[in-house]
Amino acid sequence: EAQVTQNPRYLITVTGKKLTVTCSQNMNHEYMSWYRQDPGLGLRQIYYSMNVEVTDKGDVPEGYKVSRKEKRNFPLILESPSPNQTSLYFCASKVRTAEETQYFGPGTRLLVL
């Protein structure tokens, strides 16, 4: 089954404790992206990657890091989480062509205390 998976689905942590949210896709997509969703703000792009070893900032990259060492994986790293990073996070992927359909993962709900 073609899908984007994220782990963990739910996470409670404390300020300053480094964490990683994993994202994996099995569709051989070149393009992967991370979004955060906050009430009243919609979805905002954090980082994206056009292909392996190619990443770039989205609209709200502060406080986040990413890496793309393999085509299928695109982890999101919060090296020193803060309460304002409490949010619902989505990973997405798509073929890097004019076809724009992005496939979203199920989401990771993060609470930073």
CA separation (Å) from 66 to 1, 39, 60, 61, 97? 26, 24, 13, 10, 22
C-beta separation of 9 from 109 below 8 A: yes
Tally of CA atoms within 13 A in the half-sphere of 41 that contains its CB: 13
Q: Minimum distance from CB of 92 to other proteins (Å)?
A: 8
Interface residues with other proteins (CB under 8 A) are 4, 31, 33, 35, 40-45, 48, 50, 58-59, 90, 92, 94-102, 104-107
Pairing of strands 31-38, 54-57: unpaired
Nearer to other proteins, 36 or 75 (CB): 36
Q: Minimum CB separation from other proteins for residue 98, in Å?
A: 4
Q: Are strands 31-38 and 10-13 parallel, antiparallel or unpaired?
A: unpaired
Q: Give the nearer residue to other proteins in terms of CB position, either 50 or 77.
A: 50
Of the pair 48, 64, the CB lying nearest other proteins is at 48
**Residue 47 CB, nearest approach to other proteins (Å):** 10
